[in-house]
Amino acid sequence: MVDPRAYEAMSQPVLGIRDDYFLGVMADIQAGLRTAFGTKNEATFPIPGGGGAGMEAAVASFVLPGQKFAIFAAGIFADRMSIAGKRQRANVARLEKTWGEVFSAEEAEAFLDRERPDVVGFVQAETSTGAYQSGRAITAAAKKFNALVIADCVTSLGAMPVELDSVGVDVAYSCSQKGLSCPAGLAPMSMSPRAFEWLQKRPEEPYTWYLDLSLISKYYEPAHAYHHTPSPPLYYAMHQSLAVIEEEGLENRWARHRRASQRLLAGLDKLGFTPLVKNPDERIWHLTTVVPPSTVNEAALRQKLLDRYGIEVASGLGQLAGKILRIGTMGPLATDENVDFLLDAIADCL
Amino acid sequence: MVDPRAYEAMSQPVLGIRDDYFLGVMADIQAGLRTAFGTKNEATFPIPGGGGAGMEAAVASFVLPGQKFAIFAAGIFADRMSIAGKRQRANVARLEKTWGEVFSAEEAEAFLDRERPDVVGFVQAETSTGAYQSGRAITAAAKKFNALVIADCVTSLGAMPVELDSVGVDVAYSCSQKGLSCPAGLAPMSMSPRAFEWLQKRPEEPYTWYLDLSLISKYYEPAHAYHHTPSPPLYYAMHQSLAVIEEEGLENRWARHRRASQRLLAGLDKLGFTPLVKNPDERIWHLTTVVPPSTVNEAALRQKLLDRYGIEVASGLGQLAGKILRIGTMGPLATDENVDFLLDAIADCL
């Protein structure tokens, strides 16, 4: 759900990309994204496109052809990172786990010890399964073997702890239409000083020109070197939605998502649904994944919710297709009232 | 300048990408783009990002590593296509000409006969110089040597003749914020049946996953396979601006741009400015490039226009920096009243 203030912001006049007002909007967005990402990284900014653009920018900029790229894979978005790595002609190694589970410190260390990768990739909040992995177990292992870490923060940013600096992530990407409650169309990125330095010394040019983070980052430096024309309405919307987050307070927003998730799961439990992710610490707060009772046809239930209440609940993807419901309660939706309305609607449609 | 109806459209509610209303918007956009591109190409649709995304999608999807890619180069955007080709590890050959000039049939044929390229690239309306080249001379030569033709239509689409089918272009890309009077953020693309067929048989996967046109085009097929999340406000804006173009009539819009350009050049001539592009048939109608009288400091003039009138006139780029003014009169701006206002403002600031 897009924040109403973000909608309103989009009708502001389009300005030249070096206009002082627009540069001020950009600087505010960078500051707001640093807060949401939990980082002091200077190189923190949005790029055009969705989360997929962010993923490709990260992988194409930081993974060289022939390098070993180790991916922790337990969902569709880890699979996409693997595809992006292969397209860069990297040597992709995957540690696979049942969807909905996360990786332990022991598993991470054994995998990286065996593979000795140049770059490591993981998904912090796997939209296809509802599993959250802070990444601490993975970054600790990566540090031991001196590998750069790329984190997919598409679903975590703005909604639950990302904390790049404290977790130790080098390169992170996200999207605008999930935890930030903006329309789709921008991919926030962040690079640690170590990652940024590596990028300046990259031995060969990446295949991509459009998503080359070393070129894009120059727009955010004082000379504002032209690389592409940004989409002002999307920047205005993000500017407002980051202001909304700052006013509520990031940790208050997390707590609100967490409360909504707990209330939703307690209500669903009474209706016979069971959470896909067993460990409460490994659950995404604003995207709840549940297995319906065996008597329930999940597709029929979703259709009824849409027809009777206009509520869109997502189906399972990939190996979880037909097996789970994925229920988003992000941003403005994460309130007691909305959760109760949703629970009543589900009870009615069963 | 963004059409007021496009602004208004952006506050429509964001919908799921498979929602029937949204699919209808997409289908209307595809139809409107076919009209603007002058094509029957089924594979005609917008992709996320600016004109640079369109360029990279075209080059990365259609130029294989090691292939010969012949570029007609007389401006910055042809240089960018060369960069994109080199990043794909193609063998780039360039025919260079003084900026502001276009290529003759003889020059095109001699160049392609010498190079025998797999793919040919040219810029239909070169924003950096104000020169327009329909492309007929180039496609005729390319046909002789059986090369695929990529056309940069970033500045021509929606504003002056593109006519892909009659010109014989295989792959075209454009942007949303110029001739279509939308905000930036979408890149319209079109592929001929021959190009589309080649893409299905491409011998190896492109380096890019995000801008792989064979993957993106599947979203526009009946199954609407998910590849990325589109940005609904940008689609709503384009939907409206294409409706505005249809209501006026594409050829009426061209004629309006042409009249505005002639009126502007006649007025500028009286003030001592001379057109950079000598041949009237080779001028972009909605982006007029002129050399100021030798007594005029172009940077000071541009600053005065901005300070006194809020009018933004662009400077020269690259080898034309400091030498020309680039004056846009696109979409809603191309009226007698606006041109006269602009001429009076320039006279006042001299």
Cross-chain CB nearest to B234 (options A16, A175, A231) = A231
In this structure, the answer to whether residues B270 and B232 fall within a common structural domain is no
Q: What is the mean pLDDT of each run of 10 residues along chain B (350 residues)?
A: 80 76 93 98 96 97 98 97 98 97 98 98 97 98 98 97 98 95 95 97 95 94 87 93 96 97 97 96 96 94 94 91 94 94 96
CB contact under 8 A, A227 and B16: no
For A81, the closest chain B residue by CA position comes to B209
Percent of chain A with pLDDT over 70: 100
The alpha-carbon gap from B263 to the nearest alpha carbon of chain A, in Å, equals 26
Q: Which two tokens stand for residue B67?
A: 């292939």
The alpha-carbon gap from B24 to the nearest alpha carbon of chain A, in Å, equals 19
CB contact under 8 A, A87 and B207: yes
The pLDDT of residue A1: 75
- Count of CB pairs separated by less than 8 Å, A with B: 142
The pLDDT of residue A104: 98
The pLDDT of residue B3: 79
The pLDDT of residue A41: 98
Report DSSP letters for B153-181, one per residue: -TTTTTTS---HHHHT-SEEE--SSSTT-
For A48, the closest chain B residue by CA position comes to B49
The alpha-carbon gap from A187 to the nearest alpha carbon of chain B, in Å, equals 11
In this structure, the answer to whether residues A205 and A296 fall within a common structural domain is no
Q: What is the mean pLDDT of residues A80-98?
A: 97
Contacts of residue B303 in chain A, CB cutoff 8 Å?
none
CB contact under 8 A, A10 and B11: yes
Cα–Cα distance, A154 to A174 (Å, whole number): 4
Each residue of A163-176: pLDDT tens digit? 999 999 999 999 99
In this structure, the answer to whether residues A189 and A71 fall within a common structural domain is yes
B68, containing H or E segment = strand B68-73
In this structure, the answer to whether residues B11 and B126 fall within a common structural domain is yes
Assign residue A304 the CATH number of its domain: 3.90.1150.10
The alpha-carbon gap from B227 to the nearest alpha carbon of chain A, in Å, equals 8
In this structure, the answer to whether residues B160 and B74 fall within a common structural domain is yes
CB contact under 8 A, B10 and A55: no
Q: How far apart are the first and last CA of chain A?
A: 25
Q: Is the ipTM of this complex over 0.90?
A: yes
In this structure, the answer to whether residues B211 and B264 fall within a common structural domain is no
Domain boundary among B202, B229, B247: B247
Q: Are B273 and B293 in contact (CB under 8 A)?
A: yes
Each residue of A11-53: pLDDT tens digit? 777 777 677 888 999 999 999 999 999 999 999 999 999 999 9
Q: Rounded to two decimals, what is the model's pTM? A: 0.94
Q: Which two tokens stand for residue A339?
A: 């959760």
Cα–Cα distance, B77 to A191 (Å, whole number): 29
Q: Best of B18, B19, B209 to disrupt the A interface by mutation (most A CBs within 10 Å)?
A: B209
In this structure, the answer to whether residues B310 and B221 fall within a common structural domain is no
Asked whether the predicted pLDDT for residue A99 surpasses 90, the reply is: yes
The pLDDT of residue A98: 95
Each residue of A258-280: pLDDT tens digit? 999 999 999 999 999 999 999 99
CB contact under 8 A, A184 and B53: no
Owning domain of residue B275: 250-349
- DSSP label at residue A16: -
3-state secondary structure of B327: strand
In this structure, the answer to whether residues B239 and B267 fall within a common structural domain is no
CB contact under 8 A, B50 and A48: yes
Asked whether the predicted pLDDT for residue A212 surpasses 90, the reply is: yes
Q: What is the mean pLDDT of residues A93-97?
A: 98
Strand duo A287-291 + B125-126: pairing: unpaired
Q: Which two tokens stand for residue B159?
A: 């504003």
The pLDDT of residue A306: 92
Assign residue A204 the CATH number of its domain: 3.40.640.10
B41-76 core/surface letters (b: 16 or more CB in 10 A; e: else): bbbbbbbbbbbbbbbbbbbbbbbbeebbbbbbbbbb
CB contact under 8 A, B87 and A205: yes
In this structure, the answer to whether residues B101 and B169 fall within a common structural domain is yes
Tokens 């001028």 sit on residue? B283
The pLDDT of residue B111: 98
In this structure, the answer to whether residues A188 and A264 fall within a common structural domain is no
Domain boundary among A187, A217, A247: A247
Cross-chain CB nearest to A312 (options B16, B49, B209) = B16
Instruction: Pick the closest to residue A81 from A201, A173, A210, A175 (CA basis).
Output: A173
Contacts of residue A177 in chain B, CB cutoff 8 Å?
14, 229
Cα–Cα distance, B112 to B116 (Å, whole number): 5
CB contact under 8 A, B183 and A209: no
Number of domains in chain B: 2
The alpha-carbon gap from B166 to the nearest alpha carbon of chain A, in Å, equals 30
Q: Are A41 and A172 in contact (CB under 8 A)?
A: no
Cα–Cα distance, A54 to A58 (Å, whole number): 6
Contacts of B167 (CB under 8 A, 6+ apart): B38, B134, B135, B136, B139, B151
Give how far the C-alpha of residue A234 lies from the chain's centroid of Cα atoms, to the nearest Å. 18
- DSSP label at residue B294: T
Domain boundary among B247, B265, B294: B247
Report DSSP letters for B101-152, one per residue: ----HHHHHHHHHHH--SEEEEESEETTTTEE--SHHHHHHHHHTT-EEEEE
Cα–Cα distance, B230 to B117 (Å, whole number): 35
Burial of B258 per CB tally in 10 Å (0-12, 13-18, 19+): middle
In this structure, the answer to whether residues B126 and B275 fall within a common structural domain is no
Contacts of B34 (CB under 8 A, 6+ apart): B40, B41, B44, B190
In this structure, the answer to whether residues B54 and B71 fall within a common structural domain is yes
Contacts of residue B8 in chain A, CB cutoff 8 Å?
11
The pLDDT of residue B226: 85
The pLDDT of residue B1: 74
The pLDDT of residue B18: 72
CB contact under 8 A, B207 and A237: no
Each residue of A279-320: pLDDT tens digit? 999 999 999 999 999 999 999 999 999 999 999 899 998 899
Amino acid found at A142: A
